[in-house]
């Protein structure tokens, strides 16, 4: 049997996607043990019912269990999929509403920026607990992390727990490669890509077909389309020479030039508060899934090729699969620190994960990455060292906050957020 544990399984739509993939792989049918955990008993119940329905429809014969106790759910796991959002929608609202009082605009708020900092402060301790649990009850497992802030979480687990096999997975590189192929009108399977950097701020370094650089063609497409030029990621490409992997909504809040400027907001169609709208849509999707599970609709199987599913299948079957992963650097990007968590191409096979080294990033890209790294590193250190000053340091050095607020307002905003998040913040960082 192959035991796959889900942490945060109450994120039922995501759980559904991965379980559907796993249950519809012919190679895994009859071999799956799915162990579900969530701190919300009601959501956990729906997740268990959903997994059971999917397994039955697929004829997978999966053995399914759930447990409100995390260690029990993790024990003996071969793979662990983490999809938690600590504090849920209520905490996300605080991350947006309090900074907005000070005049700070955010779009997604889950990676860097003030929203990313405070999501990191809430989430890193939970990942440390998972890492410590795995070291004891499933030491040979692989932790596949989907939760943000991605650049912070694998770094923190590897730096502060005995468990080292932590791999971050994100769709952004895959989606970017597909979009670039569409823009230049070339089938994606005919293009060679090499992409690297940080999660949500990686860059397509190689974009070729039969050895021919496709970037000149992309520049022609962009220059001929005024509407395409009204996207943040396209502007970053035009200014820095390489296409970034994250959406314009994300990218807008990682740089200092846009979010404080009404004209830029309009010109680049930046959707302030976008993640709140997406979160509300996710809550609606949860209600729809509950309705189906309670007998009000038909459940259909739609495989989604989730990266965690592909990773698990590759290692279990030994069929090599190429993925982009977030792992501790250790020299894979030569001009970024060894200890940080970077995003690079990798192959997964029966022997596990084989990340590739990509050499040094171009100077202008690594310079942009370093402004991103400042916030990530200081947030990780705030938790690992129990140093509240690093919370303020991270916020002061965040590109969007620094361009939008005074130092006094940044400090006051952080204090208000520390107070509002209460016991979700590590004890050493609390105000009282």
Q: Are 114 and 402 in contact (CB under 8 A)?
A: no
**Cα distances (Å, whole numbers) of residue 283 to 13, 86, 109, 123, 288:** 10, 15, 18, 20, 9
Minimal CA–CA distance to 374: which of 401, 355, 408? 401
Q: Are 378 and 370 in contact (CB under 8 A)?
A: no
Q: Are 169 and 193 in contact (CB under 8 A)?
A: no
CA 238/CA 405 separation, integer angstroms: 27
Instruction: Write down the H helix ranges in 258-398.
Output: 262-267, 274-291, 307-317, 363-385, 389-397
Of the candidates 37, 171, 177, 421, the residue annotated as catalytic is: 171
171 is annotated as an active-site residue: yes
Q: What one-character-per-residue DSSP string does 13-50 give?
A: HHHHHHHHHHHH-GGGTTTEEEEEE-S-HHHHHHHHHH
CA 215/CA 205 separation, integer angstroms: 10
**Cα distances (Å, whole numbers) of residue 207 to 131, 228, 391:** 37, 19, 38
Q: Are 325 and 167 in contact (CB under 8 A)?
A: yes
Burial 359-371 (b: 16+ CB within 10 A, else e): eebeeebbebbeb
Q: Are 106 and 272 in contact (CB under 8 A)?
A: yes
Between helix 274-291 and helix 12-24 the angle, nearest 10°, is 60
CA 84/CA 130 separation, integer angstroms: 11
Q: What one-character-per-residue DSSP string does 349-375 give?
A: ETTEEEEPP-BPPPHHHHHHHHHHHHH
How many CB atoms lie under 10 A from the CB of residue 385?
A: 12
Which residues make Cβ contacts (< 8 Å) with residue 249, sequence separation at least 6? 107, 108, 232, 270, 271, 274
**Cα distances (Å, whole numbers) of residue 314 to 25, 51, 321, 325:** 11, 22, 6, 14
Point out the residues that are catalytic. 171
């Amino acid at each position: 049997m192959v035991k796959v544990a889900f942490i945060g399984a109450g994120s039922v739509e995501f759980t559904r996607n991965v379980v559907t993939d796993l249950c519809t792989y012919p190679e895994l049918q009859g071999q799956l043990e799915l162990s579900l955990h969530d701190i919300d008993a009601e959501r956990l119940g729906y997740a268990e019912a959903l997994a059971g329905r999917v397994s039955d429809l697929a004829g997978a014969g999966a053995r399914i269990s759930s447990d409100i106790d995390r260690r029990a759910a993790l024990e003996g796991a071969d793979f662990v999929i983490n999809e938690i959002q600590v504090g849920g929608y209520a905490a996300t609202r605080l991350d947006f509403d309090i900074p907005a009082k000070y005049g700070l605009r955010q779009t997604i708020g889950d990676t860097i920026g003030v929203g990313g900092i405070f999501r990191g402060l809430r989430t890193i301790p939970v990942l440390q607990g998972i890492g410590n649990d795995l070291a004891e009850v499933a030491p040979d497992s692989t932790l596949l992390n989907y939760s943000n802030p991605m650049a912070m979480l694998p770094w923190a687990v590897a730096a502060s727990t005995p468990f080292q096999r932590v791999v971050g997975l994100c769709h952004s590189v895959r989606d970017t490669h597909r979009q670039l192929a569409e823009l230049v009108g070339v089938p994606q399977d005919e293009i060679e890509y090499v992409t690297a950097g940080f999660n949500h701020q990686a860059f397509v370094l190689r974009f070729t077909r039969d050895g021919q650089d496709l970037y000149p063609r992309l520049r022609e497409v962009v220059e001929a389309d005024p509407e395409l030029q009204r996207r943040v990621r396209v502007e970053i490409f035009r200014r820095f020479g390489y296409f970034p992997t994250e959406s314009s909504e994300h990218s807008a809040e990682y740089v200092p030039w846009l979010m404080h400027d009404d004209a830029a907001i309009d010109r680049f169609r930046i959707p302030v508060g976008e993640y709140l709208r997406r979160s509300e849509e996710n809550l609606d999707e949860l209600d729809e899934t509950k309705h189906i599970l309670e007998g009000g609709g038909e459940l259909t199987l739609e495989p989604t090729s989730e990266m965690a599913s592909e990773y698990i299948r590759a290692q279990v079957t030994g069929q090599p699969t190429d993925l982009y992963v977030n792992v501790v650097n250790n020299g894979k990007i030569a001009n970024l620190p060894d200890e940080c968590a970077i995003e690079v191409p990798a192959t997964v096979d029966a022997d596990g994960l084989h990340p590739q080294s990509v050499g040094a990033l171009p100077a202008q890209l690594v310079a942009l990455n370093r402004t991103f790294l400042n916030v990530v590193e200081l947030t990780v250190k705030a938790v690992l060292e129990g140093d509240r000053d690093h919370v303020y340091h991270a916020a002061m050095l965040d590109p969007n906050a620094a361009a939008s607020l005074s130092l006094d307002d940044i400090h006051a905003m952080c204090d208000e957020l520390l107070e509002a998040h209460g016991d979700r913040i590590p004890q050493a960082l609390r105000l009282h």
